[in-house]
Chain A
Amino acid sequence: MSRGATPRPPFWLVAPATLVAGATVLPLVYLVLRTLEAGPAAWHLLLRPRTATVVVNSLLLAAAVTVAAVAIGVPLAWLTTRSDLPFRRVWAVLTLMPLVIPSYVGSFAIVSAFGPRGILQKWLEPLFGVERLPEIYGFFGAWLTLTLFTYPYVLLSVRGMLLRMDPDLEAAARSLGWGPVATFFRVTLPLLRPAILAGGLLVAMYVLSDFGAVTMLQYETFTRAIYVQYQASLDRALAASLSLVLVAITTLLLVGESYLRGRARYARVGTGVGRPVTVVRLGRWRWAALAFCGLVVCLALVVPVAVVVHWLVRGLAAGEPLQLVWRPLLNSVTVSAAAAGVSVAAALPIALLSVRYQGRLARFLEKAVYLGHALPGIVVALSLVFFGIRYATPLYQTTALLVLAYVVLFLPQAVGAVQASLRQVNPHLEEAARTLGRRPLEVVREVTGPLVLPGLFAGFALVFLTAMKELPATLLLSPIGFKTLATQVWSATAEAFFARAAAPMLVLILASGLSLALVLEREPSLGRTGRSAATWRRPEWTEPELTPPGPTG
């Protein structure tokens, strides 16, 4: 059935979406204002050969990390949702946990463990006489570290898709005689494409805006160059002109992503029959799968946690008192939850607009939202300092502005999650509800909202966890005296008091891990195979009056 011309998006959707996008382009406006101040010096800086080198470095790293993150994230997602992997639910939580480890801590742990003369070398020396391990610094180390701490973006996004995917498609393939491998590559994988792209985009942007890991591992990227500009010369104008280049790269990435995603539609068309997901038996491959999960969890979770525990034990042994961190914990959780809530609410109109209406306006607003995500935290923070103190004085240095900064920085994570959910919801369901006399906002509340619930949960979780560990914007924008777990960790590590950093760090990991487990628990179906399909069958939509009229093309 041809859908004809895309209808004009309604005002009740355009207005909030424009408001949201308006907030997220504030940093861009600031950057342009500052760059204009720089004048010819900016051109001088941008046109030196070094700039090109650094751009290429950044792009190479972003591409390599994204590919590796997909290579790790997709199999893990499949194993934890579709196979009979032993302790599947435990792995589901553990493999997502690296998301909560800030890259400045993770990279430090990786260097401590695998540096030329790190902990691993100290173990190996008496056994095999290994004097030093091969170089970890540079591209390889940065690639490894960033891959380990960003693959959960792909995992979470793909997982969500697998849980929501119509199991009948795979079942049909199997019934036609295809094996599990053929089914995965010919049915499942193509259906996962939007989720992989959405997750990959987040990974690429994370890499572009990361400062902690690339500095620790001594790999020169664009964001590092921007920080050096701030740190060394306090030159905001030149730093801004460099940041604009990052904006340009991001725009290219966004265009590339939507090109790759194409116009394909992924909504389930039929109603299907309630049947549980077919669990693939791994057989003897089970051991390989376990080893794979174990290796990833060991590198990305056990090593960093072990290093932090090591600091703690060493500090306690040296008589360092254990400091309680209740207030920072409460602060972290409160502002992160607020940021996650606001982000999800703000993501809904953007996602609805971009998925349901494919006009130029919808595309523009969607892309605008992503810009803040690829900018270094300090750039977003300074832009909000600039606007906040001038035009929102009563809000300046209140948690409200801090929450806004988190939203600007992390909104795309929520948008991506909601969009992925929404793409699988058949628009005919909404149309049917309209036909039955529901008003547009009622449709969102009663039909679309509940159907994209898993996406909202995933988006909430992502933003929450990322905000928990955010540092540069937190330091600059929080109210005076407002401490979070991340600032406590930073304060101690900045002065090399690692023992004092350990307690807040462990609390940060634990608190984030607990929240993650809670969210996964609430997620309409977490791997409970038998029930998952039943819970997530949405039987209410098989109600005859609401059944969409026939298949669509």
Chain B
Amino acid sequence: MTLGASLRRRAAGMLLATLVASLALAGCGGRTGPGASGEPGAQQAPAQTGENPASEGQQGLTGPIVIYSGRSEELIGPVLKRFTETTGIDVQVKYGDTAALAATILEEGDRSPADVFFAQDAGALGALAKAGRFTRLPDHILNKVAPRFRSPEGYWVGTSGRARVVAYNVDRVDPAELPETIWGFTDPKWKGRIGWVPTNASFQAFVTALRVLESEDKAREWLQGILKNEPRAYENNTAALQAVADGEVDVAFINHYYLYRFLKEHGEGFKARIHFMTGGDAGALVNVAGVGVLKTAKHQEAAFKLVEWLLSEEAQRMVVQENGEYPLIPGVEPPFDLPPLDQLKTPDLDLSDLDSLEETLNLLREVGAL
């Protein structure tokens, strides 16, 4: 052990130290994980919340409420913060993709630490309701929202509305040229000019609405008509809208609010605008983002309080101002220059009827859109 041993030992020592340090970090991280985020209300490990349901259950209002949110922090972080300021109830939020979080809640089963599920679309809420994961919401909460924007059984309630629109490029399309119904886009003059997002939940909800409102065959006919016009498929609404603004396509079927986010960042020079369909068919569908309270919630009363607050004027104003969605309670005006919700020619449809997603997927695959 004479030659070069010190060098070698030093190198090995360094690596060993790194390993030990890493393991130690992992170890303490494990113990203090939630607290490490340094946020108020993050002090209690979720695993521990499960240990005191009795004491929490009686008061029920102390929280902290555990929220699994498919809506991003950018959108609802400020709203939830305001909730805590107003009510003194702490919230802990796990942000993620709506479908992935719904799958997580299903995997967690009865042990789920979540109290509330906040979803981007009614489809995921419907799926959890169907799986029996939600508890019924009190009537005074449900009644704040028009019946078409909530679960008929009272398992979830919409908190904001999102309308299907056609985005168009202002340089390449004259709004007067846009058809009244979505059927107009099967005309050959739209060949090569259409963008869509067939993998997107909102788009799929729209196809489901088409199937429910008209028929399976009519939906197939429409899809085939559009496919004949060689639409360009985008990953999400954002990419589709950007493509419209860039002139990559002339029109795209998206949700209305994305435009306002782009306008905020790009200014008025942004080359895309939106058009509300006037034909009263699925092309003018208004879907919702909404919440449900889990049957296994440990802070049920507090959770109800949160849902009620999300439907207060203050919360609704915050949500819609921040991201351009539609408010769902009377007395709050839509932001920007949006036409009021009751003036939209929305189809007469129960959102919970949009739960036949599997058939929609099969149809999309059958025609070759997926």
Using a CB–CB cutoff of 8 Å, the interface residues on chain A facing chain B are 50, 111, 115-118, 132, 137, 215-216, 218, 228, 230-236, 314-315, 318, 320, 327, 331, 334-335, 337-342, 344-345, 378, 381-382, 385-386, 389-390, 393-401, 403, 445, 449-450, 453, 456-457, 460, 472, 475-476, 478-483, 487, 491-492, 494-500, 522, 524, 538-540, 542-543
Contacts and interface: CB of A to CB of B under 8 A. Distances in A.
A273 to B, nearest CB: 15
A227 to B, nearest CB: 8
A340 B266 CA distance: 40
Interface stretch (B31-39, B137-145, B309-317, B331-339): B31-39
Contact of A480 (B21, B72, B93): B93
Contact of A476 (B96, B232, B265): B96
Given A481-B42, A482-B34, A540-B3, A453 B95 contact: no
Contact of A398 (B30, B50, B95, B261): B30
Contacts of A475: 94-97, 100
B365 A50 contact: yes
Contact of B204 (A232, A382, A543): A232
Contact of A132 (B18, B38, B92, B248): B248
B133 to A, nearest CB: 11
| Cβ-closest 8 pairs across A and B | A341-B22, A400-B30, A399-B29, A479-B33, A338-B26, A540-B3, A117-B246, A475-B96
B103 interface: yes
Contacts of B26: 335, 338-339, 341-342, 399-400, 403
B111 interface: yes
Interface in B216-243: 232-235, 238-239, 241, 243
A494 B238 CA distance: 8
A475 B72 CA distance: 12
Interface residues of B, number: 86
7 contacts: A216-B235, A337-B25, A341-B23, A480-B93, A480-B94, A481-B93, A543-B3
B235 A218 contact: yes
A344 B201 CA distance: 40
A233 to B, nearest CB: 5
Contact of B102 (A234, A400, A449, A522): A234
Given A236-B106, A386-B107, A393-B111, A338 B94 contact: no
A449 B248 CA distance: 56
B11 interface: yes
Given A117-B247, A334-B25, 18 more contacts: A115-B248, A216-B239, A230-B99, A230-B103, A232-B357, A318-B265, A381-B100, A381-B104, A385-B107, A397-B113, A401-B30, A403-B30, A472-B97, A475-B96, A479-B36, A479-B46, A481-B94, A494-B97
B367 interface: no
Nearest to B94: A480
Interface in B242-296: 243, 246-248, 258, 261-262, 264-267
Contact of A215 (B38, B73, B199): B199
Interface string B182-212: 0000000000000000010100100000000
Interface in B320-339: 323
Nearest to B246: A117
A487 B95 contact: yes
B14 A522 contact: yes
Most chain B beta-carbon contacts within 10 A, residue among A494, A497, A522: A494
A340 B22 contact: yes
Nearest to A343: B22
B370 interface: yes
Contacts of B23: 338, 341-342, 345
A400 B27 contact: yes
Contacts of B95: 475, 487, 491
Contacts of B124: 234
Most A-side CB within 10 Å, residue of B8, B14, B96, B247: B96
Contacts of A236: 103, 106-107
Given A397-B33, A453-B11, A483-B37, A117 B100 contact: no
Nearest to B267: A318
A539 B6 CA distance: 12
Contacts of B204: 232
Given A395-B30, A480-B46, A481-B37, A378 B365 contact: no
B103 A382 contact: yes
A54 to B, nearest CB: 11
A542 B2 CA distance: 12
Interface centre among B26, B42, B104, by most A CB within 10 Å?
Answer: B26
Contacts of A522: 14
Contacts of B109: 389
A308 B26 CA distance: 31
Interface string B32-54: 01101111001001110010000
A210 to B, nearest CB: 13
Contact of B2 (A118, A478, A491, A543): A543
B240 to A, nearest CB: 11
A497 B47 contact: no
Contacts of A393: 47, 50, 111
Nearest to A492: B74
A456 B19 CA distance: 11
B111 A389 contact: yes
A497 B265 contact: yes
A397 B32 CA distance: 11
Nearest to B370: A228
A111 B14 CA distance: 42
B22 A342 contact: yes
A402 B144 CA distance: 40
Given A399-B29, A400-B27, A378 B100 contact: yes
A320 B267 CA distance: 12
B178 interface: no
B15 interface: yes
A218 B243 CA distance: 14
B2 A397 contact: no
Nearest to B105: A385
B25 to A, nearest CB: 5
A492 B75 CA distance: 9
Contacts of A118: 246
Contact of A472 (B27, B100, B232, B361): B100
Contacts of A218: 233-235
A396 B47 contact: yes
Which of B18, B29, B199, B246 lies at the interface centre, i.e. has the most chain A CB atoms within 10 A of its CB? B29
Given A335-B29, A399-B33, A495 B15 contact: no
A344 B17 CA distance: 13
B258 A491 contact: no
B92 A481 contact: yes
Contact of B108 (A231, A385, A398): A385
Contact of A539 (B3, B241, B243, B265): B3
A177 B31 CA distance: 63
Contacts of B36: 331, 399, 479, 482
Given A218-B233, A475-B95, A397 B107 contact: no
A234 B103 contact: yes
Contacts of A339: 22, 26
